[in-house]
A and B are shown apart, each in its own frame.
Chain A
Amino acid sequence: MPHPASEPAPGTFERGLVLFIHEVHKVVGKSAARFEDAYRDGWMPTLAKGSEARLLWYFDLAHGSGLAYRVITVTAVEDGAAWARLAERLAGGDLQSWARHLDGLQHESHGRIMTPLEWSPSIGLLPEISGDPGVHEPTMYMEDTMWPHPGKVGEYIEKSGDVYRRSLGAEGSRMHMSIELSLQTVPGAGRYPEVTLLQKLSALPPLIHLLINDIPPEVTGPGSWMHEALELRDQWRSKLLRTAVWSPLQ
């Protein structure tokens, strides 16, 4: 899908490939509030002092839909060199004490570094993302992570943009949901092949309908995306995520 020449192409920035650090934190339950404080009062404003990294989303995995006390954070860095500088700050620089503090508030975190698919919507320019975003109504997301069959990742990425993304945006779409960011794992920093879609829900009733009803045959039958995409993948996982009220992106 071509992009206007005046806009930055998804995944690119002035100097390189925008990278997204996606982390799933297994938080110590009794320290959950302090964990959130560490991100809101520490990580987010610290990154905002520079121009090459920003916290984008702070999500809680919705209780009742999966594992308890799981937080997902998504941090963007402007390119590989900026990521390496951030990693050095955490391993032995000015952010080492913050990382040590966080070690006491989480059992562990699982991170992966991702880059946008060619057809992904753009998050805009990093320096324009606030490190002091104020308070908003929380927003629900459905995060889908797929593992295409061996040798099929390229075709899956292409068709998920051509078919799935368009179907979400079509008039009469069952799910009131839009893809905010579509990512794949960068080789060497996570499982590959793996594709993740961050999808914002604009209304809850369609989600509830999806949860409590069987999927109708017209959605799963021959010719449908659900049916045809089985040639490309049959394993994925959905997570229902709720933004923190202070999350920079909602």
Chain B
Amino acid sequence: MLFMHETHKVIGRHASAFEDLFRDEWMGALARGEGARLLWYLNHAMGSGPAYQVVTITAVSDGAAWEALARRTLAGDLSELASRLEACRYEVTGKMLAPVYWSALQKVDLAEMPADGREHELSVYMQDTGWPDAPLDDYIELWNHDYWQFMRKTPPDKKLLDIQACFQVAHGSGIRPEAILMQKIVNFSTLGGLLTNVEEYDPDTWPGSYMAKGLELRDQWESKLLRTSSWSPLW
């Protein structure tokens, strides 16, 4: 399974129209086919980065399904709708993601993914994108051994994040080396502490050991705080 990750630079005055088109038309149009479903519709939280940026993640069953979606978008039944979306944004930047071998998310049941716009609470994700200066495989292994394995064992009351997925960019569709974590924030007070406190890390104990070891492989990453819409299929 592949995951189409798109960052939409939306025209501010058309932001509501853009979201309406995604919710009321695009999501349902995808669901009328068999190979693709919208998973997440996320607004980049204002106050934490660029304004009017939307991130969407769409699951496609395989390469052929992605090609079929591209055909529908460029010259098929979705092209007229795609043109209307295009008129609501300056540009969109996409990349195709593949789950790394240890990612909790490997596949989704496309047929079970809601596409009716049902509403729910909002949730916030921290999306981390890292660019190692070491081989990509070593960075993915570091995240597994020194981050994911510790985070998954953290007691619920001390947990900031639930790591729901880890991806690498599928060949030729974006930057290499690059890897991405989709992490749902489960404790907003801990997030507040992270944002406002200067942490002194002990390099001999976790998480300081992870921070120290991580610097041997990379020192560049970007965190984005993304808030789901009230109707995002996953949240």
Contact = CB atoms under 8 A, between A and B. Distances in A.
B96 A187 contact: no
A192 B92 CA distance: 5
Contact of A189 (B68, B71, B89, B96): B96
Given A111-B172, A154-B83, A193-B86, A188 B70 contact: yes
A187 B68 CA distance: 11
A87 B133 CA distance: 21
Given A80-B70, A108-B175, A91 B62 contact: no
Nearest to A83: B63
Most interface-central of A23, A91, A92 (chain B CB within 10 A): A91
A113 B172 contact: yes
B91 A83 contact: no
Given A104-B135, A111-B176, A91 B170 contact: yes
Interface in A44-99: 75, 79-88, 90-92, 96, 99
A27 interface: no
Given A111-B173, A150-B87, A154-B83, A188 B96 contact: yes
A86 B174 CA distance: 15
A141 interface: no
Given A80-B70, A188-B94, A189-B96, A151 B62 contact: no
Contact of A87 (B87, B93, B171): B171
Contact of B177 (A17, A19, A103): A103
Interface in B122-149: 131, 133-137
A84 B170 contact: yes
Contacts of A185: 94
B171 to A, nearest CB: 4
B135 A190 contact: no
Contact of B95 (A19, A88, A189): A189
Given A187-B82, A193-B91, A81 B176 contact: no
B103 to A, nearest CB: 12
Interface string A227-239: 0000000000000
Nearest to B60: A188
Interface string B45-85: 00000000000001000111111111101100000001100
A80 B91 contact: no
A103 B68 contact: no
Contacts of B174: 110-112, 189-190
Interface string A173-187: 000000000001111
Contacts of B58: 188
The interface size bin for chain B is: 35 or more
A4 B173 CA distance: 32
Nearest to A22: B172
B168 interface: yes
A115 interface: yes
A100 B136 CA distance: 7
A153 interface: yes
A103 B89 CA distance: 34
A124 interface: no
B42 interface: no
A190 B93 contact: yes
Given A79-B64, A81-B63, A150-B11, A108 B90 contact: no
A119 interface: no
A81 B71 CA distance: 14
B97 to A, nearest CB: 10
Contacts of A85: 63
B216 to A, nearest CB: 15
26 contacts: A16-B67, A19-B67, A79-B63, A81-B62, A81-B64, A84-B170, A86-B171, A87-B63, A91-B170, A100-B136, A103-B177, A104-B135, A109-B176, A111-B169, A111-B171, A113-B172, A147-B91, A150-B11, A185-B94, A186-B70, A187-B6, A187-B74, A187-B94, A188-B58, A189-B96, A189-B172
Given A154-B83, A187-B92, 13 more contacts: A84-B170, A87-B170, A88-B98, A96-B137, A103-B177, A104-B135, A109-B175, A109-B176, A113-B96, A186-B74, A188-B4, A189-B95, A193-B91
